[in-house]
Amino acid sequence: MPDDAAVARDAAEEESAFAHPAVPPDSTAAYGAHADQIVDFYAPRGAADRPAPLVVVLHGGAWRAPYDRLHVTPFADFLARRGFAVANIEYRKGRSANVAGGGIPAQGGPADAEGTDGRPIAGRWPETLDDVAAALDALPALVREALPMADPKRVVVTGHSAGAHLALWAAARHVLPEGSRWHRARPAPLRGVVALAPIADLRVADELDVCSGAVRQFLGVGAAGGGADVEALFEERLGHADPAALLPTGIATTVVQGRTDIVVPQAVAEAYADAAAKAGEVVGVTLLEEVGHFPLIDPAADACAVVAEEIAQLAF
């Protein structure tokens, strides 16, 4: 368990990151009919006479409904002020009754709005992944309309925490089993992925109980120890949703991780990097001293400038 000083530091870092007012986008477009199936676009500030790299942002929040894209709009604006075109994607969160499809078993029956600890349920299986896949597939056409200055040949996907899981997963869809509903025949046309404090290895994150049971909730399975059927479903869904199981991708990937992160511990990022190495792929890992979970998306923090530089290394 983190000590009191670590908890206090994390709380202060979270307060700083969430203290910035939301920054309205330059435009918004829908990629589906649901209210959450939208993308906010931020044009690069200055240098409008030449194409700008596109950064796709996927917000975190443990895949839980109280957290939406608004809390990363200051981060999106920060990137736009660094000369990037930015697409900030929203997606469905929480959990609901689901429909089977694509060879993946459906979640059984309607779910409660909250978990047993009073927290909202994490994720909607399979809708959260449906939305991320649909958004990335629709993005080229939406960007041509909303951000004509964006360079389609220089696209980097980034995300924070649960959003970093989704970013890594989106870049790995061509590695999914061919029977998966989200399988792509070819790799996504990306320059790379910059994953910020990612929930990158779902098995390790589950063992560490990251975000209070969020992994199993996200996968739509019961709690650990729920019996052979539950564990079989957990293993099956890991094969469709766990970035650590979808390697190698052949897409340049950098992980940025704070060493003092008590929300998604460093061990999760290290497990993903180890899995990549075993699969024959090198993942860059940038470890930041005296940095926790939230400074990575806080424009007031030095760590956020490091993130922008990591993105630039892949984009330019």
- Prediction pTM value: 0.93
In order, the DSSP letters of 218-262 are HHT---TTS-HHHHHHHHHHHHHH-GGGS----S-EEEEEETT-S
pLDDT tens digits along 16-70: 999 999 999 999 999 999 999 999 999 999 866 789 999 999 999 999 998 999 9
- Burial, 141: exposed, middle or buried (Cβ in 10 Å; 0-12, 13-18, 19+)? exposed
Mapped onto helix, strand or coil, the DSSP state of residue 304 is helix
pLDDT tens digits along 240-279: 999 999 999 999 999 999 999 999 999 999 999 999 999 9
Categorize the per-residue pLDDT at 222 as very low, low, confident or very high, splitting at 50, 70 and 90: confident
Q: Which residues pair with 30 in a beta bridge?
A: 38
pLDDT value at 107 more than 90: no
∠ at Cα 131 (29, 123), nearest 5°? 125
